[in-house]
Structure 1
Amino acid sequence: MVTIASTASLRVYVSEWENGKRPISERYAKILRALLGVTDDELHGRHVAPVEALQTGGYDELITRIDSARSVSLTMVKTFMDQTELLRTVDRRMGAASLIDQMTGHLSTLEEALTFAVLPGTRRPVARALAGAATLAAWQALDAGSVERAWRHYELGKRAAKEADEPMYLAHATAEQAYVLCDAGRPAMAVELVRDAQRVGGRMMSPRLQAWLYAAEAEICAKAEMPDDCERALEKAINVLPPGEETRDPDMLSIFLNEGHLTRWRGNVLAQLGDDDAVSSLYLALDSADPEFVRATAGLRCDLAQAHLAREEYDQAHTHLREARLLANRTGSVRHRRRIEQLTQRM
């Protein structure tokens, strides 16, 4: 447990931090980075200098950067992808709060490589790697409560996906961006965007990604109070999902979805609609939940609390909210904490 100053002292500290009269210690910097969803440089007001402007006639510097980018081989692109996968694994197990600086550095490296890559044979693989990394960074930013950062990362991911000519990556980034609109109180607009993502992907999408997009549409339709559309989207997700226990999509490594995951998603949707069947679906999902998906389990606990609240079963709701809070604190999820507080107010 981290010991902090009293409320009165903290007010003084904040005032002094804002006015530059007191430096932020590493102990408080660690707390504030996770709480505010910012990098260490942003917290301390340090502006990271952009790539140095080329001096007049500075062709040597330009050619050096171009040659460096040209040397990015498929092996190097695989290294970029492996780094994204590592960050995805840590995020899944421990949450996004501790990864902001690492993710920022990773994106900067990929953007630098793409900026100075010239030929399509080099640009497209790097752009594909950037699309995947930017979409992951966007979801992490949304979870950490940094909404504008999330939106900008999704835009970066979409541009990179277009550059790479990867409709699956473009569809995925577009659909996840719909959640930003939904969280911002624009669910109807979010429904339009997630459906546009399906059109973007078209026939190029894998069945697992199709199922993921339909499930996302169902969830957003539930928030938009469109129950009939919600049920149709869920049915489509069930129909196109490949059978078996496999979760990863080999063509889209950011997609994790099998029957167990979809059962949990269905329970989430039914809980939002106030459907009595939500409880049974959610307990089935809880029994088969992968312990590695810590943040997802926090969401599942929130869903169960919401389902029990709809049935006025307050003791059970309280139990799941307590477990959800522990998991949200463990991962530093601002998004889940916000939902937990909203549900707590209904007790």
Structure 2
Amino acid sequence: MRHQVCIIGGGPSGLLLSLLLRRAGVDAVVLERRSRDYVLSRIRAGVLEQGLCDMLREAGIGSRMQAEGFVHDGTIITAHGTTVHIDFKKLTGKTVTIYGQTEVTRDLYEELDRIGAPVFHEAEDVAIHDADSDAPHVTFTHQGRSHRVDCDFIAGCDGFHGVSRNTIPKAVRREFENVYPFGWLGILAHTPPVADELVYSGHERGFALCSMRNANLSRHYLQVPLTGKAGDWSDDAFWAELRRRLPPHLAETLVTGPSIEKSIAPLRSFISEPMSWGRIYLAGDAAHIVPPTGAKGLNLAASDIHYLSKALIAHYAGDEGLLAAYSATALARVWKASRFSWSLTRMLHHFPAEGSFLARMQAAEVDYLAHSTAAQTALAENYVGLPY
């Protein structure tokens, strides 16, 4: 088969890229290793930057997000006896929208189905060939049959463990990584959120985050050691620990209930340079991972797709400049967003191996944030998303 762009990875970034390209008349095919049901079962981020919301509207799939999403004007940060409300709208004129990644993916699937865009699920043995030539191709197995996609370009949207990044020679790649000595234990529960906005809580026992998916579905997290398993935590133990890590006035409002999903995710910061080689262009987790503290994972993937879709569309209109600059352009934003996620993680998590000095520095940082409009503005600008 022949397509102009072969997209490896059918998560939200790959699906969004396919839709944006097809809206501009560029032919694309998506290869996804997992089944559609599996992709839609993954519980992921739910905080969308305004830039991503604008992209979804541009792609023609923003109506359900507009109707069902929760617009947040700010967030609450509490640590070391200090509570700060960061007013995004007042400080930046922008907001964020709470709308689950699963729902974004569902909207993308429905629109791609409607326009008849090809998506191969359970595509196995995906391999990239001749990526450094003018005639790359991708082979894969689907339902027991071998297939070959001849294409002009390959978009690697297949995540950290995918084939795309590893196709770039090791001699070309530079990888930067920081692995954090803890993970996040997260639960999903049919309970109302603890507050009208997200709550980030730093505590001597560890970090906690109170998030939400809708008015009756909450997502909460606890910083935990990586030595344990999610099954080691009963629901009662989780709720009790969450209460300990929240200020009393918020702990009193916490409504508990049985969990419907529970898991532990390790945290890392990771960036691979460059984000292109030959005819391969990486996007999202294939090129970078951020700790979830700054809500940047899905949003960073979306900014990659913004740059990559514009560059590919420009190429077919006769302009090569954006495609040549893609890696450098995307990486400039990736490093800034990674810095923000890293700094927020450092400010609010417990690092017992680093002793009391770091704890006092964290307290000073939160106190400065509480009394500095400039510091609050800087945090708000990064949280709502730096401009594309």
TM value normalised by structure 2:
0.26
Q: Which has the higher contact order (CA 8 A, sep 6+)?
A: 2
Greater share of residues in strand:
2
TM value normalised by structure 1:
0.29
